[in-house]
Amino acid sequence: MAPMDMEPKGQNGSAAGNGAHVGAAAAAPAAATSAAVAAAAAAAKTGGATGGSKKLIFFGPMAAAPPFDLEDLLRASAEVLGKGAFGTAYKAVMESGSAVAVKRLKDVDLPEPEFRERIAAIGAVQHELVVPLRAYYFSKDEKLLVYDYMSMGSLSALLHGNRASGRTPLDWETRSAIALAAARGVAHIHSTGPTASHGNIKSSNVLLTKNYEARVSDHGLPTLVGPSFSPTRVSGYRAPEVTDIRRVSQKADVYSFGVLLLELLTGKAPTHAVVNEEGLDLPRWVQSVVREEWTAEVFDQELLRYQNVEEEMVQLLQLAIDCSAQHPDRRPSMSEVAARIDEIRRSSLGDRPATDSAGEGEEPSL
Instruction: Give the β-pairing of 206-208 and 143-148.
Output: unpaired
Distance in angstroms (rounded) separating the CA atoms of residues 101 and 93: 9
Distance in angstroms (rounded) separating the CA atoms of residues 139 and 184: 34
**Amino acid in the structure at residue 294:** W
| CA dist 77 → 31, 33, 101 (Å) | 10, 12, 12
List phi, psi (to 5°) of 295: -55, -40
SS3 138: strand
**Residues with Cβ within 8 Å of residue 121, at least 6 apart in sequence:** 196, 220, 223
Distance in angstroms (rounded) separating the CA atoms of residues 229 and 31: 29
103 is in an annotated binding site: yes
Distance in angstroms (rounded) separating the CA atoms of residues 224 and 9: 26
Reduced to 3 DSSP states, what percent helix, strand and coil does the chain have, rounded to the nearest 5? Answer: 40, 15, 45
Q: Which residues are annotated as a binding site for ATP?
A: 103
Q: Which residues are annotated as a binding site?
A: 103
